[in-house]
Amino acid sequence: MKIYDYHGKKNVSGDRIREARLKRRLTQEDLAAKLQIEGVIMERDSVSRMEIGTRFVTDYESMVLSKVLGVSTQWLVGLEE
């Protein structure tokens, strides 16, 4: 299986996930817990790897992340300012 990178990262939303998380004063562990409440099973290390770009972010994870972080999915992928 070929692993795809985009500008050296496996996702385009990691920086924005971190930005929104810090703006809401959440730790990575807090964010993982909120995602789990919404039905996305994720640990703190997965949040860390998403933020630094070494983990893919699935479409359903993007939807739940945008809900939990209070931002649009368009913003998460960099299509909105």
Q: What is the pLDDT of residues 5-51, one digit of tens each?
A: 888 899 999 999 999 999 999 999 999 999 999 999 999 999 999 99
Minimal CA–CA distance to 49: which of 3, 22, 13? 13
What per-residue confidence (pLDDT) applies to 5? Answer: 85
What per-residue confidence (pLDDT) applies to 69? Answer: 98
CB 2 within 8 A of CB 56: no
What per-residue confidence (pLDDT) applies to 80? Answer: 83
Question: For the chain, how far is it from start to end, CA to CA, in angstroms?
Answer: 34
What per-residue confidence (pLDDT) applies to 4? Answer: 79
